[in-house]
Amino acid sequence: MSRGLKLTLLLALPLAGFLALLGLLWQGLGRDPSLLPSALIDRPLPAFRLAALGEPGRFISQDDLKGKPALLNVWATWCPTCRAEHEMLRSLAAQGVTIYGVNYKDDPTKAVQWLKDLGNPYTLNIDDQSGQLGIDLGVYGAPETFILDARGVIRYRHVGAVDEQVWREVLEPRLKLLQGGQG
């Protein structure tokens, strides 16, 4: 091989590397680097035993959330986005979707008042004042919405508000699939 050709081939390497880099950066555009997938996908719900919100004597455990596919929504009164999605959750509950709530690091009195004022879409509401369940679920910012299957296994997590679009494009198809598998 002549010296010139060798150098040409050698210098083609950086160009090839550069094109690969362009491809990578191109793919990276528009992605949200701060969005974190759950580490708990396809794992059973972490074990817990916590009081029901507003009913300090009654305890809820992971077994109470089994039986049918459902949404598990992490919310708090200090979280403005939770207020923004609340109406959507209510309409979902009205359509028959089972929604369990985790009241995350909140003041129970305020939380109970909030449900009175805005309506209660939750079948069950877990009072996680210490935030331990939040840590076990890998919650990093309320609101978060998990999809559980009938055996209480976490199948998906959505971070941020649930709105019409998120429900239609992201949550509903996945929930349907689980319900279909069950039926």
Partner 1 sequence: MRRWLPLLLALLAPPALAAIDAEHRFDDPAQEARYRDLIAELRCPKCQNQNIADSNAPLAQDLRQKVYDMMQAGRSDQEIVDYLVARYGDFVRYRPPLRADTWLLWFGPFAAIGAAALGVALWLHSRAQRTRPALDEHARQRLAELLRQHDEDSR
Partner 2 sequence: MLPEIGQFTLLLAIANAALLGTLPLLGAARGDGRLMTVARPLAAGQFAFVGLAFLCLALAFVDNDFSVAYVANNSNTQLPLWYRITAVWGGHEGSMLLWSLILAGWTLAVALASAALPRELLARVLGVMGLISLGFLLFLQLTSNPFARNLPFFPLDGRDLNPLLQDFGLIVHPPMLYMGYVGFSVAFAFVVAALLSGRLDSAWARWSRPWTTAAWCFLTLGIALGSWWAYYELGWGGWWFWDPVENASFMPWLLGTALIHSLAATEKRGVFRAWTVLLAIATFSLSVLGTFLVRSGVLTSVHAFANDPERGLFILTLLALISGGALTLLVLRAHVIRSEGEFAPLSRESGLLANNLLLVGGCAVVFTGTLFPLAVDVLNLGKLSVGPPYFNTLFVPLALVLLAVLGVGPLLRWKRDSAGRLWRPLAPWLAAAGVLGLTLPSLVGAEFRWLVSLSLALVLWVLFSSLQDLRERLEHRSRPWYSAWHLPRAYKGMLLAHLGLAVTVTGVALTSHYSVERDVRLILEQSVQIGPYRFRLDALENADGPNYTATRARIEVRDGADRIVRLMTPEKRLYTVQQMPMTEVALAPGLLRDLYVALGEPLDQRSWAVRIYYKPFVRWLWLGALLMAAGGLLALLDPRYRLARRRATVAAGGSANVARA
Interface with partner 2 by CB under 8 A: which residues? 4-5, 7-8, 10-12, 14-15, 18-19, 21-22, 24-34, 36-37
71-to-56, 105, 120, 138, 177 alpha-carbon distances in Å:
23, 19, 14, 16, 14
Candidate ranges 22-30, 35-43, 47-55, 149-157; the one touching partner 1 (CB under 8 A):
35-43
Cα–Cα dist 80/93, whole Å:
20
Q: Is 105 in the site for partner 1 (CB under 8 A)?
A: yes
Q: Is 47 in the site for partner 1 (CB under 8 A)?
A: no
Cα–Cα dist 24/42, whole Å:
29
Surface-to-core class of residue 131, CB atoms within 10 Å of its CB (0-12 exposed, 13-18 middle, 19+ buried): middle
Instruction: State which residue, 36 or 47, has the beta carbon closest to partner 2.
Output: 36
- Closest separation in Å from C-beta 154 to partner 1: 12
Tokens of 107: 């003041």
Q: Is 52 in the site for partner 1 (CB under 8 A)?
A: no
Q: Are 53 and 103 in contact (CB under 8 A)?
A: yes
- Please report, as ranges, the residues that interact with partner 1 according to CB under 8 A: 34, 36-40, 80-81, 84, 105, 131, 134-138, 140-141, 160-161, 163, 165
